[in-house]
Amino acid sequence: MESKENVGAAVQIEGLVKRYRGRPAVDGLDLSVARGECFGLLGPNGAGKTTTLRLLLGLTQPSAGAIHVLGLPVPEQARFARRRIGVVPQADNLDPDFTVEENLEVYARYFGLRPAAIRDRIRSLLEFAELSERLRSPIRELSGGTKRRLTLVRALIQDPDLVILDEPTTGLDPHARQHLWNRLEELRAAGRTLILSTHYMEEAERLCDRVAIMDRGRIQAEDTPRALVDRFLPRHVLEIREPLKDRTLLDHERCQVEAVGALTLVYSSEREYLTSLVDRLGIARYLERPSNLEDCFLHLTGRGLRE
């Protein structure tokens, strides 16, 4: 149904720069997200994730570069782009002066929608969020997980093509997180484009078709979660949780060693080699496991603690 130029990328960013008092928060970012894709933006605090998302929405002016969202230039046409974008912010900003249901009605008006005209839609969104029993609850009585679910369906009020989620599960307990992940998987299955920023590698691995690791305002690497790990690290890792007395036993032809504080990580493509190391090193506190996105993240963004 869509015309040719609409079939293009959901998001296209070229040479994006955003400086605050001369200091770059985003420093020459190129990024492309296809329609229907779930894209994860990973990075340490201060990497520029939130700034990038704000730039996408036209909520802040870029210092340089070009942004197109759903085919529209941003910030020039941000107002029109936002008609088709749902936003789940990092911190909940539900309206405390209204009940659960009223929050959706009031938010619909900001999109020029009359609540009476979308009554059915509001009901089905509240069902989707499993909030049908809490229509008249004031916001302050909701738990953190419930608030997030309401924030998520609020972002869907105008049936957006693209949903942007800034750390959607930060601060949630495991149940609430699983619940939200299930909802996001349903959205993804329905073909909606999702862009999410997160600190949780597990979240990215589970939800995202493609992830980008961002650091110092730039994308350091991007690919599918598995391909990204494979590109930078061998498949297996021995995580040693005690000080190593004799490092000379490690054969650098067959493994790759990284230190994270008191932890030593030994990567290898040969699992048997790692198993044999346990005996030879005489270690008691260790874990042998497959390498994952978190290892890759730490590998790419440096081991030091960062403010």
Partner 1 sequence: MNGLWRRLPSRGFSAVWMRNFLVWRKLWIPSLIANFGEPLLYLLAFGYGFGQFVKTMDHLPYLVFLATGIVCSSAMNAASFEALYSAYTRMEMQKTWEAILSAPLEPADVILGEVSWAATKGLINALAILIVGFVLRLWSGAMILWALPVIFLVGFAFGAMAMIMTVLARSYDFFVYYMILLLTPLLLVSGVFFPLSALPSPVVRVARLLPLTHAIELIRPLLTGRFPHDVFAHVAVLVVYGIAGYGIATAVAYRRLQR
- Report the interface residues with partner 1, using CB under 8 A: 20, 57, 59-61, 75-76, 79-80, 82-83, 87, 89, 91, 93-98, 102, 106-107, 109-112
Min CB(100)–partner 1 separation in Å: 15
Min CB(34)–partner 1 separation in Å: 23
Which CB, 76 or 251, lies closer to partner 1? 76
Round to whole Å and give the CA distance between 291 and 286: 14
List beta partners, residue 239.
265, 287
**Cβ neighbours of residue 170 under 8 Å, at least 6 residues apart?**
90, 198, 199
Min CB(220)–partner 1 separation in Å: 26
Round to whole Å and give the CA distance between 85 and 83: 6
Which CB, 47 or 165, lies closer to partner 1? 165
Tokens of 143: 């738990």
Min CB(150)–partner 1 separation in Å: 12
Q: Is the separation of the CB atoms in 277 and 238 below 8 Å?
A: yes
Which CB, 77 or 132, lies closer to partner 1? 77
Which CB, 28 or 73, lies closer to partner 1? 73
Which CB, 38 or 88, lies closer to partner 1? 88
Min CB(92)–partner 1 separation in Å: 8
Round to whole Å and give the CA distance between 151 and 168: 9
Tokens of 293: 């996105």
Round to whole Å and give the CA distance between 47 and 201: 15
